[in-house]
Structure 1
Amino acid sequence: MDFFFRNRNLFILHFTVLIWGFTGVLGGLISIAALPLVWYRVFIAAISLFIYIKITRKNMQVPLGRMLQFIGVGLLVGMHWVLFFHAIKVSTVSVTLVSLSSLTLFTAILEPLFSHKKLAIDDIIVGLCIILGIYLIFTFEFQYWQGIVFGLLAALCASIFSICNSKLVKKDNPVIITFYEMVGAFLGLSLILLCTQGFNAAMDLSLADLFYLLLLGSVCTAFAYALGVAVMKELSAFTVALITNLEPVYGIMLAMLILKQNEVMSTGFYLGAIIILAAVFLYPLVKTRLATQHKKNKTMPVEQHLK
């Protein structure tokens, strides 16, 4: 019991990442299409976050300019989720989650462009490993090519809004930012549904769909986010990065356990998945070690550098 209390934040973060991994399984269980699915999700998440903000008495007021920024990023979040759940609908949870792991590759390429920095060698190596893994999956699971493509597009959107959020979170409360992003996603998706006459019988929910959507919007989105933010403040960035990278692993394990035969893949898929997940998981380890080495070299006396 003492061990649990000493490492309580670690267990909570693992539990949070497990919940995030469960979103893919829920996407496979919910019968409606990706667009209305995400519309319901962001609607429920926005209401849940609003209740949380009111209970915790956080200040919701932000300048109009920043609010519009949050709403704009929310449109990207909504697009990411639509692409993610559509990838699940046209392939499997496992294929989608592994494709989504390319987020690390896109971030490694895009972040230096946003911050006007050079592309690091270790980022290039990790990126090449991920490309190799995706190539293997594409070769052995070509029947799921649409899922791979939509999964990669979802990862691209996630990379862009993650980079944007990393800048926004320095000025405002993450929960407030997320609330307005959910509102932005809801408004954007509502407009698309209106323009495409999407508010029709296809949005009707069964009792099972309603239950899964309530889980997805409240527990897997609002609750998990609030829980994650709380413990992330207590843990190092390195620990958070390492544990968060387990999301596709947890997701694939849950999918195989719950969806069973639908998630059985070829040997080539698992080989590609291992390469991608190993690259993603080892990425923060390599990054931290190189940063530590660089710091040591900078503080080392000149004569030691010349040896």
Structure 2
Amino acid sequence: MENTHVKNLSFLLLATLFISTSGVLGKYIALSPEVIILCRASFAAVFIYIFCRFKKIDLKVQTKKDRNSFIVSGFFMAAHWVTYFYALKLSNVAIGMLSMYTFPVITALLEPFFSKQKLNPIHVFLAILVLIGVYMLVPDFSLENDQLKGILFGIFSALCYALRNLTIKKHVKDYNGSMLMFYQMIVVAVFLIPVLFFGDFSNLESQLPLLLLVALLTTAIGHTMLVYSLQHFSVSTASIISSVQPIFGIIIAYIFVNEIPSFNTYIGGSLILLTVVIESVRSRK
């Protein structure tokens, strides 16, 4: 039992590491967020489709209700990604990622409305820690400040991500994780089709290697692994544990683009990391 928990936890943390690459890639790909997400979803859909065919995974949607749920979930995923990348563009990797990681707070508060699970007081306590951590990031509360705008985009992105995870959670026992991600990518791409008519694709060729990387490593592999992890953890637990993602992202940004966080970012990040450690130990039960 102990080994199984460690294996599942390691799998979730590895998924989080792969997803963490979105911070640097989202910040420094020289395209608008809408164009990036359209390309990301389209390329990822191709990668996942090839994998599903290779593994002979059934792609049939069982009911009309499930199909409608996939569409709603995909809409939230699209909104989450676009607003998250705006958060990264307006602020920096550390602040963009950390502000988006209010989503465990939102998830813990919303999950009782989506399942029979009761609101856990420990999740409320951890939610407060995350909020204090985010508060440490805000330089000043002026809407003229791009960093504050980035934080607000990050928090809205967090709401969309929490709703996406909660709507897709109920399907993980009936459908393969890769199949779920395939349909998510299709829905995201369809919602963003209008970008083809007004988006700026002038830098597409030079940015293609980075787009393929974010589609394959971050999305096709990382997010699919995260969906698989929902078989073994509640959405609240998986969300809180994966809050280590900003820490991974800050380290990656420091290594590859020499982006050095401020002192307040270290404090806020430490509080978020503390919630991860507490929930990782607690979820063993």
TM-score, with length taken from structure 2: 0.85
Whether contact under 8 Å (1:45, 1:221) holds in the other structure is yes
Give the match for residue 213 of structure 1: 211
Give the match for residue 186 of structure 2: 183
Shift of 1:219: 2.4
Instruction: Decide which of 249, 252, 256 is 2:250's aligned counterpart.
Output: 252
Whole-Å separation in 1 of the counterparts to 2:132 and 2:89: 25
Over aligned residues, Cα RMSD in angstroms?
Answer: 2.8
Give the match for residue 272 of structure 2: 276
- CA shift digits 1:114-141 (9 cap, x unpaired): 2365432212211221221222211469
1:84 pairs with 2:84: yes
Distance 1:45 1:105, change over 3 A: same
Shift of 1:242: 7.7
Whether contact under 8 Å (2:97, 2:246) holds in the other structure is yes
Q: Percent identity?
A: 27
Task: Point out the more displaced range, 49-58 or 109-118.
Answer: 109-118
Distance 1:179 1:286, change over 3 A: same
Whole-Å separation in 2 of the counterparts to 1:68 and 1:46: 19
State the structure with more CA Rg.
Answer: 1
List aligned pairs for 1:154-165, cutoff 5 A.
154-165=157-168
Unmatched runs of 5 consecutive residues or more in structure 1:
1-6, 293-307
Give the match for residue 50 of structure 2: 51
Distance 1:8 1:131, change over 3 A: closer
- CA shift digits 1:53-99 (9 cap, x unpaired): 11111121113512232122111111100011111011101101111
Instruction: Decide which of 145, 149, 152 is 2:148's aligned counterpart.
Output: 145
1:25 pairs with 2:21: no
Count of residues paired in the alignment: 274
Whole-Å separation in 2 of the counterparts to 1:283 and 1:13: 13
Structure with the largest fraction of helix: 1
Q: Which secondary structure does the structure 2 equivalent of 1:246 belong to?
A: helix
Whole-Å separation in 2 of the counterparts to 1:171 and 1:55: 20
Give the match for residue 68 of structure 1: 68
Whole-Å separation in 1 of the counterparts to 2:8 and 2:63: 35
Unmatched runs of 5 consecutive residues or more in structure 2:
1-5
